[in-house]
Structure 1
Amino acid sequence: MSQMIFVNLPTSDLDRADKFYSSLGFTKNDTFSDENATSWFIAENILVMVLREEFFSGFLVNGDVAVTGSGRRECLNALSAETREGVDQFVANALAGGGEIYRPADEPFPGMYQAAVQDPDGHVWEIAWMSPEAIENPGA
């Protein structure tokens, strides 16, 4: 079996989170979805698991608590886009699904176009496209 990655995120509203992740074009994985969690394929071996806060908390130890909403960030989930237009489409889909702009689209250096959105629970998803030239000659 190939190695997989599961990004596990708590949610305060599973139905609202499902609307958001569906709007991004992710494919629901019914095998790992139930009344406590919904699983979404981002790619063949990459899934996001959205878990009700109470269920998510059952996996935590040492007094840790689930975090949703704005404020402190432990991670930024980052995805690549196949085209510059793909970045803009991802952002548009996120907004249509109830997300918000976290960081507007910009081009921090030639050949890299990026933006970031947050889901309804405040989890941030970055999306970036890099031109083939930028990939082949980083820093040039």
Structure 2
Amino acid sequence: MASKMIFINLPVTDLERSKSFYETLGWKVNQDFTDENAACIVIDDNICAMLLTKSFFTTFSTRPIGDTTATVNGLYTLALGSAQEVDTLVDAALSAGGTEEVNADKRAQEAQVGMHGRTFLDPDGHQWEPFFMAYPGAN
């Protein structure tokens, strides 16, 4: 059986700016699925973000595109291998023009269960939440 993959489709205002942002995070552009309307960003072997120009994005749904700069439309949570990986990814996002959203109550709750997480917004306001949690019995 073939492994499953997830593709997160994100509307973007400026495709080149968004490609550059995600490349700064260390993620790669798959040129086979990239053109003037879309870019495939490879996050992991089975996870990709499809950056779609807003005009192209509207061809996939009759519903209007949400304003991600004013409202939350989704939380893209990514489990990483260490707290350092979380910090490195968020620091890269900030250096590339992203912004960090700090929720002290959420961080306190995460710390109680041994989790380290941070939140960043990409230039279009899409909310990413990388985290690390040491599971009992994990090496």
TM over 0.5: yes
Alignment CA distance shift 1:104-1:94 (3 Å):
farther
Match of 2:96 in 1: 97
Equivalent position of 2:116 in the other structure? 113
Whether 1:130 and 2:130 are equivalent positions in the alignment is no
Q: 1:68 to 1:33 in 2, by over 3 A?
A: farther
For structure 1, the 5+ residue unaligned runs are none
Aligned position for 2:81: 82
SS at the partner of 1:67?
coil
- Unaligned segments of structure 2, at least 5 residues: none
Which structure features the higher share of helix residues? 2
Aligned equivalents of 1:102, 1:49: Cα separation in 2: 23
Q: Percent identity?
A: 36
- Per-residue deviation, 1:74: 2.3
Displacement after TM superposition at 1:104 (Å)? 5.9
Matches within 5 A, 1:12-23: 12-23=13-24
CA distance in 2, matches of 1:9, 1:93: 20
- 1:7 matched residue in structure 2: 8
Greater strand share, structure number: 1
- Work out the number of aligned pairs and report it: 133
In the TM superposition, residue 69 of structure 1 has moved relative to its aligned partner by 3.6
The TM-score with structure 1 as length reference comes to 0.87
**Is it true that 1:43 corresponds to 2:22 in the alignment?**
no
Find the residue that maps to 2:8 and give its secondary structure.
Answer: strand
Kept after mapping to 1: 8 A contact 2:66/2:73:
no
CA distance in 2, matches of 1:52, 1:103: 28
Deviations 1:27-63 (A, max 9, x none): 11111100111101111111000000000011112xx
What is the match of residue 71 of structure 2? 72
**What CA deviation, in whole Å up to 9, does each residue of 1:50-108 have, x standing for no partner?**
000000011112xx112344222221000011111111111101011111102368352
The one-letter code sitting in structure 1 at the alignment partner of 2:81 is: E
